[in-house]
Chain A
Amino acid sequence: MAGGLASLAAPGIVRAQSQSGPLKLGIVFAKQGVWTEQSKQLVDGVTLALKHKGNQILGRDIELLWYDEANPQGAQQNISKLMYQDKVFAVVGGSNSGTSLAMSSVAARAQIPYLCPGAAAAALTGSDCNPYIFRTLTTTMVASRALAPACLDIGKNWYYLAANYAYGQDIYNSMSGLLKQAGGKELGYDKAPLGTSDYSSFILKIRQAKPDVVMLGLPGGDLSTFLKQWADMGMKGKIPVACPIIGNIDLWSVGAEAATGYYGMPWSFSNPQNPQVEKEFAAEYAKMHPGQAPCADKVWLGWYTTRVLLEAVEKAQSVDANKIVKSLETTRINDGAYDAGYRSWDHQMLHPCMVFKVKDKITDKWDWLDAVAQEPKQPSWENLNALFGTEQEIGCKMPPH
Chain B
Amino acid sequence: MLDIIISQLANGLVLGFLYVLLAIGLSIIFGLLGVINFAHGAFFALGAYFAVSLYSSLGWWSVILAPVLVAIVGMVCERVLIRYLYGKDPLLSLILTFALSLFITALIRLFWGAGGIPFSTPPAFAGIFEFGAIFLTRYRVAVLFITVLLLVALWAFLTFTPYGRILRAGSRDPEMVEMLGINLPRVLTVVFGLGCLLAGAAGLLAAPLLTVTPDIATVAIMPAFVIVTIGGLGSYPGAIVAGVLVGLVTALTVQFAPEASAASMYVLMALILLIRPRGLFGERWERFE
Contacts and interface: CB of A to CB of B under 8 A. Distances in A.
Interface of A: 32-34, 36-37, 164, 190-193, 195-198, 200-202, 204-205, 207-208, 221, 224-225, 228-229, 232-234, 249, 252-258
Nearest to B123: A257
Contact of A200 (B3, B4, B15): B15
A201 B254 CA distance: 6
Given A197-B219, A201-B261, A204-B4, A253 B209 contact: no
Contacts of A225: 210-211
A191 B139 CA distance: 26
Given A193-B262, A193-B263, A204-B7, A224 B15 contact: no
B211 A224 contact: yes
A-B complex: 5 closest residue pairs judged by Cβ atoms: A253-B116, A255-B118, A193-B262, A201-B254, A36-B114
Interface of B: 3-4, 7-8, 11-12, 15, 106, 109, 113-121, 126-128, 135, 137, 139-140, 208-211, 213, 215-216, 219, 250-251, 254-255, 258-259, 261-263
A232 B15 CA distance: 15
A221 B250 contact: no
A32 B109 contact: yes
A164 B15 CA distance: 22
B4 A208 contact: yes
B259 A191 contact: yes
Given A228-B210, A232-B121, A193 B261 contact: yes
B210 A253 contact: no
Contacts of B219: 195, 197
B258 A197 contact: no
Given A207-B135, A228-B209, A255-B118, A192 B216 contact: no
B261 A233 contact: no
Nearest to A196: B262
A205 B4 contact: yes
A233 B210 contact: no
Contacts of B128: 233-234
Please indicate which of the listed interface residues B8, B121, B216, B254 has the most CB atoms of chain A within 10 Å of its own CB: B254
Given A205-B254, A208-B3, 16 more contacts: A192-B259, A193-B259, A193-B261, A193-B263, A196-B261, A197-B210, A198-B209, A200-B140, A205-B258, A208-B4, A224-B116, A232-B137, A232-B208, A233-B137, A255-B119, A258-B118
A229 to B, nearest CB: 7
Given A32-B109, A36-B114, A234-B128, A258 B120 contact: yes
B255 A201 contact: yes
B116 A221 contact: yes
B259 A202 contact: no
Nearest to A229: B209
Contacts of B127: 234
Contacts of A202: 254, 258
B109 A36 contact: yes
Given A234-B128, A257-B120, A198 B15 contact: yes
A129 B211 CA distance: 36
Nearest to B12: A201
29 contacts: A32-B106, A33-B114, A34-B215, A191-B258, A193-B261, A193-B262, A195-B219, A196-B262, A197-B210, A197-B219, A198-B15, A201-B12, A204-B135, A205-B255, A208-B3, A221-B116, A221-B213, A221-B215, A232-B121, A232-B209, A234-B127, A252-B118, A253-B116, A253-B211, A253-B213, A254-B116, A255-B120, A256-B118, A257-B120
A207 B211 CA distance: 22
B115 A37 contact: yes
A164 B211 contact: no
B102 to A, nearest CB: 11
A224 B116 CA distance: 8
B1 to A, nearest CB: 10
Contacts of A204: 4, 7-8, 11, 135, 255
A37 B63 CA distance: 29
